[in-house]
Amino acid sequence: MRIARDGTWHYLGSPIGRMPLVKLFSSILKREGQDYFLVTPVEKVGIKVDDVPFIAVDFSVTDGDFTFETNVGDLIPLGPEHPMRIETNEKGEPAPYVLVRSNLEARIDRKSFYRLVDLAQPHPHQGQIWLGIWSLGQFFPFIPEAEI
């Protein structure tokens, strides 16, 4: 089994088209170190994950707090228990991620990240002013204001 970078689950090279089956598999997905497994009480099967297993495909804002929705229907409240991080690739492009559970993450899709950037506000962080968002009392920085 494999989860492609776009969040599509594959079995024997073919996409799994039944969303209830994908949701079932996603509920038993575990990560140990850099390896991913589907774990049941009687079996543990390795699974290849191209980037991360989930995609945050949308978000909502309620009373100033953000909640992400993943491609498998999980609702993730952005905050101390589900932080966001931003990696930068070799081209300098941001790749934002949010923690879904344990050590499983969702990559925030491009349209959602652009919407987040539109909502960003300046705030002191690490001795500079950064643009970022607040959710559940925690500031999530995107970029130093001086780099814009």
pLDDT digits (tens, 9 = 90+) for 101-124: 999 999 999 999 999 999 999 999
Question: 54-147 adopts what CATH topology?
Answer: duf1285 protein fold (2.30.270)
pLDDT digits (tens, 9 = 90+) for 53-64: 999 999 999 999
pLDDT digits (tens, 9 = 90+) for 76-102: 999 999 999 999 888 888 999 999 999
For the chain, the domains span: 2-49, 54-147
Question: 2-49 adopts what CATH topology?
Answer: duf1285 like fold (3.10.540)
Residue range 28-56: mean pLDDT, rounded:
96
Residue 147 binned pLDDT confidence (cut-offs 50, 70, 90):
confident
* Coil, helix or strand at residue 128: strand
The rounded percent of the chain whose pLDDT value lies above 70 is: 100
Q: What is the edge-to-edge ordering of all strands in the sheet holding 29-32?
A: 14-15, 9-11, 2-3, 44-49, 35-39, 29-32
pTM of the predicted protein model: 0.92
